[in-house]
Amino acid sequence: MIGANQQQVHHKSAQLRERANEVWSEGALRLVFERSPDAILLLDDGVFIDCNQTAVDLLRATGKDELLSLSPSDLSPIIQPDGTSSAIKARQMIAIALDRGSHRFEWLAKRRDGSELPVEVLLTAIPFQQTQMLHVVWRDISRRKEAERQLAESRKAEDAFRTGQGQVLEMIAQGATLSDVLASLVTLIEAQSEGMICSVLQLSEDGKHIRHGAAPHLPEIYVQAVNGAPIGPKNGSCGTAMYRGQPVIVTDMLTDPLWEDYRELAKLSGLRACWSTPIFTGQGKVLGSFAMYYREPQAPTGSEARLTEVATHIAGIAIEHERSQNELQHTRSELAHVARVTTMGELAASIAHEVNQPLGAIVGNADICLGWLQETEVDLKQVAEALEDIASDGHRASQIISRIRSLVKKHVPEKSPQNLSEIAREVIGLVRHEAQGKHVTIHLQLGESLPPVEADRVQLQQVLLNLVMNGIEAMHETEVNQRQLTVRTTVSNGSVLAAVSDSGMGIQPERVEQLFKPFHTTKPAGMGMGLAISRSIVESFGGKLWAEAKAGGGAIFSFSLPVRSQEIQ
């Protein structure tokens, strides 16, 4: 069986050889050459002697004759993409092919119309009549090259997009304003797609109205019209998206029923397509919307989904961050208010004294005047003098009251230029009697013509008041004749410094930081919030507040605030 089988194989291969010889001799293989989808040329001693039709087509020659009349250097640019000269590189490649029998490499060819074409070249050396002919195959790789180029480009774009997202998140972390953050986000998203205009809108706190977020490239008239508009089931793309809590795709604003009430606005603004997606909190509450606009009717292709996802995600973070910051700020200012009212309560007796002083004089002087007026002969000059005193005391009383009122009433902190020495004088005016009652002598060392700092007046008064009250309190066990409190203001290194030093029991250096923890108190009636609040107030204006032990007993509490930037030049 095996022998028969072997015989059969031998027979078969002999048949095949015969057939192959036949094909070769008949020139049938010539057709392989002619019809190859790759361009093939024969190079003999630096001269093309033959080529196939594919080569003619690929190189855009008029015919074989033209192509064969050219030298290889006519079919390449002077320089290859790697910077080497085509002539030199060609000689190197040929040498390798002759040496190894064949060589495959990438090449930039120049077609007859001057256009360039990336090709893969396969050189095969063919020994023929004592010379070495070269069989040259050129395969068009322009598609592959283009794909590679596109891939690299999209990778680069993706990297840039990611970096952009990182930058926007960084802005949020560094406390940039919400409108700056959203404007950067919108610009970043817009850069990812040609002809697209984006906007971020916020939903008002009452959940009923649209509030402007960012739309740096939408027409101003459109932005203004949308700001403050109500949301609802038929209120354009964004108003409806926020109302439904679902994306709303409008491919043509001029025909879509959702835009019925806003058609004219869309026309005026030159906008045709608007796809809006709601922005949610982590808990699923609608915060606003992100929209993509086009100037032509358009439907999403699917490639926008990712951009929308990124945009709504980041915008959500930014808006939520801003809202929680606002809430924190609000809580802080409420707390500061409570602390102020508490302090004023502690000062009530001193304040009563301060007000009763002028009131006593007013009532008394008025009584004297009444007595004079009942006399038969009235000395008008005397009466006038007394009335002048009454007026000036009345003025004084009202000033004291307005100073107290400003400290007690609720207000939204506002930054404005402040003079620390002036504030120190006002605060000392409030605690003067408190200090006297506790046998504390106050020394003022206030810098003249201090540069202004940027802060809220009431809150600065509160900080200083708190430090002074603490200082007075700290000396309650000190010998009566040694209770000294010094308030100093000065300027140093672009900052204005205020320091309150006492001659009290002092502080242990290792306990300094504990003083600033909330609810840390040494006073029987204290809430223990004073220093924590004071520090947060000073820090909110870009300053620092710290404590140190004083040599020879006592403590110094200081805070510094940067000099207002306009004043530095």
Partner 1 sequence: MTEKPPVVIVVDDDVSFRNFLSRLVSTIGLKTVPFDSAEAFLAAPAPDCPACLVLDVQMPGLSGLDLQRQLAGGSRPLPIVFTTGHGDIPMTVEAMKAGAVGFFAKPFRNQDMIDAIKEGIARDRETRKQLEELAEIQARYDSLTSREREVFALVTEGSLNKQIAHKLGTSERTIKAHRAQVVQKMKADSVADLVRMADRLKIHPQITQKSA
| Residue 393 interacting with partner 1 (CB under 8 A) | yes
Q: Which residues contact 278 (CB under 8 A, 6 or more apart)?
A: 241, 242, 244, 245, 246, 247, 286, 288, 289, 312
CB of 401 to partner 1, least distance (A): 14
CB of 521 to partner 1, least distance (A): 25
Which one of residues 386, 475, 485, 500 is an interface residue with partner 1 (CB under 8 A)? 386
| d(C-alpha 536, C-alpha 463), whole Å | 10
Running DSSP on this structure, what letter comes out for residue 70? S
Q: Quick one: which segment of 244-252, 271-279, 392-400, 449-457 binds partner 1 (CB under 8 A)?
A: 392-400
The full length of the chain comes to 569
Q: How many residues bind partner 1 (CB under 8 A)?
A: 30
Q: Quick one: which segment of 19-27, 241-249, 252-260, 391-399 binds partner 1 (CB under 8 A)?
A: 391-399
Running DSSP on this structure, what letter comes out for residue 479? -
Task: State which residue, 200 or 472, has the beta carbon closest to partner 1.
Answer: 472
> CA end-to-end span of the chain, whole Å?
109
Which one of residues 173, 349, 378, 401 is an interface residue with partner 1 (CB under 8 A)? 349
Which one of residues 350, 419, 462, 536 is an interface residue with partner 1 (CB under 8 A)? 350
Strand blocks (E) in 376-519: 416-418, 441-446, 453-455, 484-492, 495-502
CB of 389 to partner 1, least distance (A): 6
Task: State which residue, 271 or 369, has the beta carbon closest to partner 1.
Answer: 369
Which one of residues 396, 415, 425, 550 is an interface residue with partner 1 (CB under 8 A)? 396
Task: State which residue, 18 or 375, has the beta carbon closest to partner 1.
Answer: 375
Task: State which residue, 268 or 352, has the beta carbon closest to partner 1.
Answer: 352
| Residue 212 interacting with partner 1 (CB under 8 A) | no
Residue showing tokens 């605060």 = 427
Using an 8 Å Cβ cutoff, are 259 and 232 in contact? no
| d(C-alpha 115, C-alpha 62), whole Å | 15
| Residue 392 interacting with partner 1 (CB under 8 A) | yes
Task: State which residue, 239 or 358, has the beta carbon closest to partner 1.
Answer: 358
CA distances from 120 to 91, 109, 382, 535 (A): 16, 10, 117, 72
CB of 378 to partner 1, least distance (A): 13
- Which residue, among 149, 196, 152, has the nearest Cα to 304 in the 3D structure? 196
| d(C-alpha 569, C-alpha 404), whole Å | 36
Long-range contacts of 477-484 (CB under 8 A, 24+ apart): 477/504, 477/505, 478/503, 478/504, 478/505, 480/439, 481/439, 483/438, 483/439, 483/440, 483/441, 484/440, 484/441, 484/443
- Which residue, among 106, 113, 27, 32, has the nearest Cα to 66 in the 3D structure? 113
Contacts with partner 1 in 43-102 (CB under 8 A)? none
Helix (H, G, I), strand (E, B) or coil at 410: coil
Contacts with partner 1 in 401-460 (CB under 8 A)? 432-433, 436-437, 441
Contacts with partner 1 in 353-382 (CB under 8 A)? 353-365, 367-368, 371-372
CB of 478 to partner 1, least distance (A): 17
Name the β-bridge partners of 278. Answer: 289
CB of 481 to partner 1, least distance (A): 10
- Which residue, among 24, 19, 57, has the nearest Cα to 40 in the 3D structure? 57
| Residue 398 interacting with partner 1 (CB under 8 A) | no
Task: State which residue, 113 or 377, has the beta carbon closest to partner 1.
Answer: 377
Q: Quick one: which segment of 188-196, 308-316, 346-354, 461-469 binds partner 1 (CB under 8 A)?
A: 346-354
CB of 343 to partner 1, least distance (A): 17
Task: State which residue, 123 or 386, has the beta carbon closest to partner 1.
Answer: 386
Contact residues: partner 1, CB under 8 A: 349-350, 352-365, 367-368, 371-372, 386, 389, 392-393, 396, 432-433, 436-437, 441
